[in-house]
Structure 1
Amino acid sequence: MENNIACVIPCFNEANRIDSLIKEILSLNSSDIDWYLLDNGSIDDTQDRICQLSINKLEAKNIMFIRKNINEGYGSGIKYAFKNIVINNSYKVFCWTHGDGQTPLNDILLASNLLKIQTNGFYLIKGKRLSRKDGTISYLFTFVLNLILFILGYRQAISPNSQPTSISVDLMNKIINKLPEDGKFDIAILLYIIDLGVKISRFNVHFLEREQGEGANESIDAKIIYSINMLKYIFKWKIRHLFSNNISLTK
């Protein structure tokens, strides 16, 4: 591949969103980015729609499709894409964002502009959500999580599930095998990188309403369970690293 940036868009049960994603990508001036639509083990018609597009052959050479046969979690899909894409190419930057319409793909271009001013091989650039359109309850859960992260000294990890995310391939290679397979994937990356002392650049983004697909935490019960698991992970991380200083870029 000639391009240095690979952007993965995980799709889970988003068959009716695939065409819109393609149109959105084509509307961008993004010939320097290779776009990968990842079918993360969907059980609807997502794969059939992707296959149809592949048969018809898109004119755009920088839009590709990959599939993970079984959905084993959000983080598992990102890790699968990274290992299968980067291992066979020479990308310098790996990005991902949501495919459900909540995050405009133009935000990837904003991140790529920030990439141009990076002066070393280790960096992470991530959106920071200013607003969300999925209800008061979701807002309250996010507020509590962000407050705890702030109190614990993880200010750069606030709004951990905001997208897009862009990370240098060299840095991702250092931590990829240590990251969880589930929804704690994004917070884990931020905590690792904060403790590594690598600079994190955040830029403001606005989340829109989900157009298609399924979130893992739609019900109140699911939100509570997810939040508890997130908080457990964050507190365990904080306690563990209060008594240990064994994270290094050389390991």
Structure 2
Amino acid sequence: MSYSDATFAGQTCVITGAASGIGRALAVRLGKAGAMLALSDVNEEGLAETAALAGGKASNKILTDRLDMADAAAIKAYAPKVKEAFGSAQHVMNVAGLARVGSFEETDIEAMEKVVDVNFWGVVRMSKAFLPQLIESKGHLTNISSVFGFIGYPGNAHYCASKFAVRGFSETIGMELKEKGVQVHSVHPGGIDTNIVRNAEIDALPDGMESRADLEKRFESNVRTSADEAAAVILKGLERNNPRILIGPDAHVISATQRLLPRRYAPVLGWIMDKWQN
């Protein structure tokens, strides 16, 4: 998936969740393209590693900040800091997110609120804080949803709810902001080789699993795309102004199956996943 580095050269790109995974891969690719990077994460050690990979400590085109997507006041203060350093952002990429595993029955309400606070409200807070800059620059707002923004999946009610919400939010404000020149993108990764499941908190393991290792093994069997490949697909989608960006062959299969069988997709996708794993 090719795109032109010139599209992003000199652009101010804000990336949350930049310490690893897709956020890191975007930072590295954009750094090589000559973009100015405002990188944030709660993981300061990983963030420093990303900055080094994207341009090195001596670069004056990289700003790093510890930023919690659940901290509304910090996000509100972050936007003017970025503008002071680099000018109005042309790209805001809301990548930060967290996963949790456990049925609705076995998960505390507080735990569900935490997932939604980071995955959905974090996106809303960042979008609101940077909206004046994006209107000024006629820029791009890129929000990471998931294939679980299309389908429900047992043990992930909180995660699916947050990702459905990101999709609905992104599609709606995309309509609202079109006349102001702001492009809004809803990104739907399938199985991507990142640490999101490895770092997930577990309230209860799915049926048939006895340990975190079993969960990770199932996740790894569903991985279809590297984080770097995912970043390339996203950047190509931005270049083309695609409002919906699907990442990986599994994402395309899941999206198509849900559209064709909106009420009966679960057994079909279960059969497909069993075939992939075996």
- In which range does the TM-score fall when normalised by the shorter chain? 0.3 to 0.5
Question: Normalising by structure 1, what TM-score?
Answer: 0.39
Indicate the structure with greater helix content.
2
Question: Which structure has the higher relative contact order (CA within 8 Å, separation 6+)?
Answer: 1
Question: Normalising by structure 2, what TM-score?
Answer: 0.36
